[in-house]
């Protein structure tokens, strides 16, 4: 049953497993549902396990069940709408006059005819049923005698609910806010036993007590704490301007994440050369060399930038876009030094992956594993940063 | 599996549900799978379990999860220290291990002679591995106590409700076994019903004024924490107790402290308010 729907869901990136699918089949066997609306909610409750995937689900549902909801259903809804005199009251005087001009039966006949002729969803235009436009049928239209189908009219149907795609904002590949980023950063942890000995080690206590001929002897141990140290390097150059908001979110999340043992951050423009900066205005410089000398290799390095620049800015001596920067060493060498010095480093790119074919992005991508600056990308990056090498 | 159990949960007199939520609850009862509830703080995740228990007239067992909670504690605790202590002073018969085994909340739910509602509250507070440790127990609804060579298995599978604030990702294996529902923030119409449940004889214009103000506040994106349902309820309670004129609600927003809980939010609100109406009295 509906096996294609399973694959439609998977195609739309809803992570459905066979276990869940079997659960759904079990539920369907139990005659729990009687119509498509109930199926929509039932299947969503069983198959989708995160509000981040609700939107993917809506899209897949729309794709698979489009056209299932027959015309009869819609005209029934309209008939009901028309039967209720209160609905007529919501029209203005002029509209009502116009409305009365049109014969009701005629209107419905015409609607059914058009519904049959129409094969796809339609927005705009003045004939087909859909949204906008001035056809008498559909919603958000201009025709004063028009009948609102779906839209705000009380009885909501599954396809329409799916069409609304209200959960678009919960998609994890789109939205980021500080809290969500913090969540993603929580993946960055390595638990080590550090700090004062304040945890009772039961095993050893028993052991020691036995040795002590039953006289209780407590053994304490250090509790497990996160040992991850993070170094954040952010590009604040001109081409990063559109992503300033996103980067500041990442920064505030990382900065307020209390679970890192140490957190250091520096800024650069376009590419890293001889110096890094403590502030966005680049007043307080610190030499990159010094940084590499003083920071231990076990810092997890997160570089944020679009990595797209003129090729010579990356590969040539004195290639820096600011002439006073006068770099003796090409930027790419500096990047390589960073990649070599630290054991774990990643590059987060706010641009979407399909625009990464720029030559300098490619070159940087060879030095650092590159991820999109989205929740998914951040999660993958965090994983990359804690794997043992 | 029989169908007669399906429409069992219909909400209770003091808790208004939406159709998708009812559907999710009933699926979970029928399929006997845990129901995982997520949503903004203050949308009534925890209250749902209370409402199910009330609606179905069943006992409710609550297991509050903290960051230090271990899965084992929910099953049973073997009080070794007590036993060790007793062995030193010979107060009790230490050879009877049973008296040192204390069932946790999950164990109590399994051992209960009647079906009960089990609420595992804020499951994401615990360690990332916590849900994984409970996989088998929630699946089979039974566990084994090696110390006494006993198996505790559920006489009636409890109706399990698990709430989460999405502070941590839950493991996939755990999710696969659950029925999931995300409680959306209620729209104005549903909210009206919810408020009426709490205040059955609230004056209509007071309600409308309060709701309009509330939703306009929620639209301000600069707030770190937008006011939610429970704050609205508190606020309306204050409004009724204060007995202020209705037309003052939207213009002055009295008792703003019940709606905005963070200092920056409050400051932002006062600042924008000041700039809008220059002579606003800040002492209020």
> Which residue in A37, A49, A188, A213 has the most chain B C-beta atoms within 10 A of its own C-beta, making it the best mutation to test that interface?
A49
Residue with more model confidence, B250 or B183: B183
Contact present, A385 and A335 (Cβ < 8 Å): no
Closest CA to A332 of A310, A354, A353, A356: A310
> Which residue in B40, B182, B223 has the most chain A C-beta atoms within 10 A of its own C-beta, making it the best mutation to test that interface?
B182
Gap from B8 CA to chain A (nearest CA, Å): 11
In this predicted structure, which of A278-282, B51-55, B280-284 has the lowest mean pLDDT? B280-284
Interchain contact, A50 vs B175, CB within 8 Å: yes
A53 pLDDT above the threshold of 90: no
For chain B, the structural domain boundaries read 6-183, 188-276
Q: What one-character-per-residue DSSP string does A275-338 give? A: EEESSTT--SEEEHHHHHHHS-TTSEEEEE------HHHHHSTT--SSGGG--SS-HHHHHHHH
Instruction: Tell me the CA distances in angstroms from A267 to A49, A95, A285, A303, A345, one per residue in order.
Output: 38, 62, 9, 10, 16
Contact of B166 with chain A, judged by CB distance below 8 Å, is answered with yes
Residue of A nearest to B182 (CA): A51
For chain A, the structural domain boundaries read 3-65, 71-166, 192-224, 227-386
pLDDT averaged over every residue in chain B: 82
Class of domain A227-386: alpha beta
Q: Render pLDDT for A167-219 as a digit per residue (tens, 0 to 9).
A: 655 554 444 566 666 666 777 776 666 667 777 888 888 888 888 887 778 88
**Which residues, listed in sequence order, are joined to residue B64 by a DSSP beta bridge?**
B121
Using 50, 70 and 90 to split pLDDT, how confident is the model at A156? very low
* Chain A residues with CB-CB distance to B86 below 8 A: none
A121 pLDDT above the threshold of 50: no
Gap from A29 CA to chain B (nearest CA, Å): 9
B14 pLDDT above the threshold of 50: yes
Q: Render pLDDT for A60-102 as a digit per residue (tens, 0 to 9).
A: 888 888 765 444 444 455 555 545 544 544 555 555 555 555 5
Instruction: Tell me how far apart the alpha carbons of residues A36 and A160 are, in angstroms, rounded to a whole number.
Output: 11
B62 pLDDT above the threshold of 90: yes
Instruction: Tell me how far apart the alpha carbons of residues A271 and A305 are, in angstroms, rounded to a whole number.
Output: 9
pLDDT value for B163 = 92
Partner residue opposite A45 with nearest CB, options B23, B167, B184:
B23
Burial class of residue B90 in the structure, from the number of CB atoms within 10 Å of its CB (0-12 exposed, 13-18 middle, 19+ buried): exposed
**Residue B63: in which H helix or E strand, if any?**
strand B60-64
pLDDT value for A145 = 40
Q: What one-character-per-residue DSSP string does A25-69 give? A: HHHHHTT---SHHHHHHHHHHHH---GGGHHHHHHHHHHHHTTTS
Class of domain B6-183: alpha beta
Using 50, 70 and 90 to split pLDDT, how confident is the model at B35? very high
Provide the 3-class DSSP secondary structure of residue A9: helix
A274 pLDDT above the threshold of 50: yes
Contacts for A363 with CB less than 8 Å, ≥ 6 apart:
A314, A315, A332
Contacts for A62 with CB less than 8 Å, ≥ 6 apart:
A159, A162, A163
Contact present, B118 and B105 (Cβ < 8 Å): yes
Question: By percentage, how much of chain B surpasses pLDDT 90?
Answer: 11
Instruction: Tell me the CA distances in angstroms from A146 to A77, A103, A131, A347, one per residue in order.
Output: 14, 13, 11, 54
> Which residue in B3, B176, B221 has the most chain A C-beta atoms within 10 A of its own C-beta, making it the best mutation to test that interface?
B176
Contacts for B281 with CB less than 8 Å, ≥ 6 apart:
none
Using 50, 70 and 90 to split pLDDT, how confident is the model at A124? very low
User: Could you tell me if the ipTM is greater than 0.95?
Assistant: no
Contact present, B248 and B239 (Cβ < 8 Å): no
Query: What number of C-beta contacts closer than 8 Å exist between A and B?
Result: 77
Give exposure, A359-370, as e/b (b: 16+ Cβ within 10 Å).
ebbebbeebbeb
pLDDT value for A193 = 66
Using 50, 70 and 90 to split pLDDT, how confident is the model at B3? very low
pLDDT value for B139 = 83
Contact present, B150 and B103 (Cβ < 8 Å): no
Instruction: Tell me the CA distances in angstroms from B201 to A328, B195, B248, one per residue in order.
Output: 79, 10, 20
pLDDT value for A179 = 63
Provide the 3-class DSSP secondary structure of residue A138: strand
Interface of A with B in 138-167 (CB under 8 A): 166-167
Residue found under tokens 């559909």: A138
Contact present, B180 and B36 (Cβ < 8 Å): yes
Using 50, 70 and 90 to split pLDDT, how confident is the model at B161? very high
Instruction: Tell me how far apart the alpha carbons of residues B187 and B169 are, in angstroms, rounded to a whole number.
Output: 27
Instruction: Tell me how far apart the alpha carbons of residues A175 and A211 are, in angstroms, rounded to a whole number.
Output: 59
């Amino acid at each position: 049953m509906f096996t294609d729907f399973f694959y439609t869901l998977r195609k739309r990136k809803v992570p459905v497993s066979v276990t869940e699918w079997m659960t759904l089949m079990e539920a369907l066997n139990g005659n729990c549902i009687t119509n498509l609306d109930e199926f929509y909610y039932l299947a969503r409750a069983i198959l989708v396990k995160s509000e981040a995937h609700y939107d993917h689900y809506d899209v897949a549902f729309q794709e698979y069940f489009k056209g299932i909801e027959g015309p009869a259903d819609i005209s029934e809804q309209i008939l009901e709408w028309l039967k209720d005199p209160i609905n007529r009251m919501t029209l203005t005087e002029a509209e009502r006059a116009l409305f009365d001009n049109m014969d009701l039966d005629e209107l419905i006949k015409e609607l059914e005819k058009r519904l049959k002729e129409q094969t796809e969803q339609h927005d705009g235009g003045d004939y087909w049923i859909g949204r906008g436009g001035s056809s008498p049928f559909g919603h958000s239209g201009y025709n004063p005698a028009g009948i609102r189908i779906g839209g705000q009219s009380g009885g909501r149907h599954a396809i329409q609910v799916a069409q609304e795609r209200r959960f678009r904002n919960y998609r994890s590949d789109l939205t980021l806010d500080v809290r969500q980023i913090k969540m993603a950063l929580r993946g960055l942890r390595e638990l080590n036993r550090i700090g004062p000995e304040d945890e009772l080690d039961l095993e050893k206590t028993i052991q020691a007590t036995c040795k002590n001929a039953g006289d209780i002897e407590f053994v304490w141990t250090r509790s497990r704490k996160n040992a991850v140290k993070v170094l954040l390097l952010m590009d604040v150059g001109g081409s990063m301007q559109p992503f300033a908001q996103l980067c500041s979110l990442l920064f505030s999340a990382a900065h307020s994440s209390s679970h890192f043992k140490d957190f250091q951050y520096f800024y650069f423009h376009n590419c890293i050369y001889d110096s890094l900066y403590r502030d966005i205005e680049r007043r307080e410089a610190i030499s990159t060399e010094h940084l590499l000398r003083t920071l231990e290799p076990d810092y997890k390095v997160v570089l944020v930038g679009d990595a797209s620049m003129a090729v010579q800015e990356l590969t040539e001596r004195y290639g820096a876009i600011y002439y006073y920067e006068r770099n003796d060493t090409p930027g790419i060498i500096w990047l390589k030094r960073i990649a070599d010095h630290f054991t774990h480093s990643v590059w987060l790119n706010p641009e979407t992956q399909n625009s990464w074919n720029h030559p300098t992005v490619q070159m940087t991508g060879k030095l650092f594993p590159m991820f999109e600056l989205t929740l998914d990308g951040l999660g993958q990056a965090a994983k990359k940063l804690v794997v043992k090498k | 599996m029989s169908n007669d159990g399906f429409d069992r949960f219909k909400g209770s007199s003091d808790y208004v549900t939406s159709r998708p939520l009812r559907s999710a609850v009933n699926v979970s009862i029928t399929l006997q799978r845990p129901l995982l509830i997520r949503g903004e703080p203050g949308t009534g995740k925890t209250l749902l379990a209370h409402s199910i228990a009330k609606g179905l007239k069943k006992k409710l067992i609550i297991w509050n999860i903290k960051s230090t909670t271990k899965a084992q504690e929910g099953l049973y605790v073997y009080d070794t220290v007590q036993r060790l202590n007793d062995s030193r002073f010979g107060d009790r018969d230490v050879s009877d291990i049973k008296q040192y085994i204390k069932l946790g909340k999950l164990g109590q739910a399994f051992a209960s002679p009647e079906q009960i509602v089990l609420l595992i509250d804020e499951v994401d507070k615990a360690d990332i591995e916590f849900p994984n440790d409970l996989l088998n127990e929630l699946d089979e609804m039974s566990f084994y106590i090696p110390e006494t060579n006993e198996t505790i298995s559920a006489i009636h599978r409890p109706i399990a409700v698990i709430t989460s604030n999405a502070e941590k990702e839950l493991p996939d294996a755990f999710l696969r076994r659950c029925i999931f529902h995300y409680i959306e923030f209620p729209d104005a119409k549903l909210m009206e019903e919810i408020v009426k449940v709490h205040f059955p004889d609230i004056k209509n214009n007071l309600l409308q004024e309060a709701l309009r103000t509330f939703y306009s506040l929620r639209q301000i994106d600069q707030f770190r924490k937008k006011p939610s349902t429970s704050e609205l309820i508190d606020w309306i309670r204050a409004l009724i107790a204060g007995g202020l004129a209705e037309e003052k609600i939207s213009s002055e927003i009295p008792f703003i402290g019940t709606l905005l809980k963070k200092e920056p939010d409050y400051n932002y609100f006062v600042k924008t308010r000041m700039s809008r109406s220059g002579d606003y009295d800040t002492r209020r």
